[in-house]
Amino acid sequence: MRFLALLLTLGSLCGISQAGDLLAIRAKTVYTGTGEILHHAVILVDSGKIVTIGEDLPIERGIPILELDDNQVVVPGFIQPYTRLGSSTRGRNSTDPHVLAKDGFYPTSALKEYAKAGIVLAGYYPAGRGMPGQASVLRPVPADGKSYVVKESSYAKLLTSSSKNEKDRVRSIYEAIEKHKTKAEKHKEKYDKAKDKADKAAKKEKDKDKKKAILEKVGKFAPLKPDAKNQAFMDIESGDLPVLVSLDRAGTFLHFKDALDDKSMDWSLRLPISLESDFANIKEEVGKAGTRVVMDPAISVNPGSRKQRNLPAEFSKAGAKLVLVPRSDSAFGAKNWRKDVVSVIRAGLDEQTALSAMTLECANLLGMGDTHGSLEAGKVADLLILSGKPFEPASEIEAVMVDGKFVHGEAGL
């Protein structure tokens, strides 16, 4: 193939597989992940980032050019924002929002399969029910062969149900915040009293050294710092720590909203699609709020009937921001991810929406949409080279670039 032959030449002459090198990729078709399709496009990569991208751009002499075949297509790298990366570890039912998933991460052989499937980033969530901690963002291929971790904290996981205990768990977040605020206020009052007493004593004291000693004993005010758990609760309230709420059925959403009671929280929903899913009952409310929903690319039926539902398409049309994840959290699921997405596209999901749901919206869920998830100038050069259109069943992933470096397909370079 001309593509592989050219890569072999460029690889030997310019070392294109090494991050930090300048490379121009010229392709007949580029899906940016923003809804735009570029034709006769040029992507200029330097130091792991996209310097510029556009149609019919001139390329300066001396810059190595990767000329793709006409049938080859470039798309953003896929992002799996809700995974355990092959880990079988079981957590407990707890409320530990300060725990970071990265601290319990151990590389597995499944990682190489994730990279082959075109997954360039993964949101690794903590094991357990309740609120077991915060997801961390990892690379399936470690940077410089060392660290897998790209971002330590992404979202807090909350797996809830329609029980009183789970409603109390949500309410406990804000109860803990109020308790800390009360303690902090008393701490400030205690200091103010001591400071006032010291100021009065210092006013009466004529000796400068003694006056200074009285004031130094009180010192400057130091606010009462929350412990790690309360700090996480406060970050949830402020919106600095988003929450991904996993529901078991539609009715649980009503229980969650009741427990939240209009308190501040930046939340998205994880809606696992089973054969009989009743989530259609909440699509209008979720869509009206413009909430992000994490779903499986699967066709379901109304409970107790044979009426088929394409819930990903329905939620998207209702106004929700769609995120699609593999149907099974495994190497097999990652490999078949695109094929499963094809099934919901054929049933009515917009193709560009589907691509964004595997790339940019996933990056947004992880809080990394400004730097990842689409092919735009200034963003990290994470991209895939496919043998055809992204959702053609016969289309294959021929090469995977992460941080401007080819991590799969290099055997043919």
Q: Which two tokens stand for residue 372?
A: 């990842």
- Residue 300's nearest CA partner among 340, 323, 271, 273 is 273
Q: Is the whole-model pTM more than 0.85?
A: yes
Pairing of strands 119-124, 78-83: parallel
4: pLDDT strictly greater than 60: no
| Residue 287 to residue 128: CA distance in whole angstroms | 28
Tokens 């099934």 -> residue: 343
Helix-helix angle 164-204:228-238, to 10 degrees: 100
Q: What is the pLDDT of residues 203-234, one digit of tens each?
A: 998 888 988 998 899 999 999 999 999 999 99
| Tokens representing residue 249 in the block | 């059925």
- How many whole angstroms separate alpha carbon 381 and alpha carbon 43? 9
Residues forming CATH 3.20.20.140 domain(s) in the chain:
78-164+228-372
Per-residue pLDDT tens for 19-42?
347 999 999 999 999 999 999 999
What is the distance between the alpha carbons of residues 272 and 295, in angstroms, rounded to a whole number?
A: 6
- Choose between 207 and 341: higher pLDDT: 341
Residue in this structure with the two tokens 């751009």, named with its chain if needed: 57
Residue 193 has pLDDT above 90, yes or no: yes
CATH 1.10.1270.20 fits 1-77+373-413, yes or no: no
Q: Rounded to an integer, what distance in angstroms lies between the CA atom of residue 145 and that of residue 293? A: 33
Of 328, 329, 311, which Cα lies nearest the Cα of 320?
311
Show the CA angle centred on residue 166, arms to residues 160 and 172, nearest 5°: 120
CA 318 to chain centre: 22
User: Residue 310 in 3-state DSSP?
Assistant: coil
Please state the separation of Cα 138 from the chain's center in Å: 10
For residue 398, pLDDT over 60 is answered with yes
d(CA 275, CA 332): 20
CATH architecture under which domain 78-164+228-372 falls = Alpha-Beta Barrel (3.20)
Closest CA to 156 of 282, 286, 246: 246
pLDDT of the residue at 160? 94
Q: What is the dihedral of CA 29, 33, 35, 39, to 10 degrees?
A: -10
Q: Where exactly does CATH 2.30.40.10 map onto the chain? A: 1-77+373-413
Output the CA angle 304-306-311, nearest 5 degrees. Answer: 90
**d(Cα 174, Cα 233) in Å, to the nearest integer?**
7
Instruction: Please state the rounded mean pLDDT for residues 47-59.
Output: 95
Identify the band that residue 306 occupies on the pLDDT scale cut at 50, 70 and 90: confident
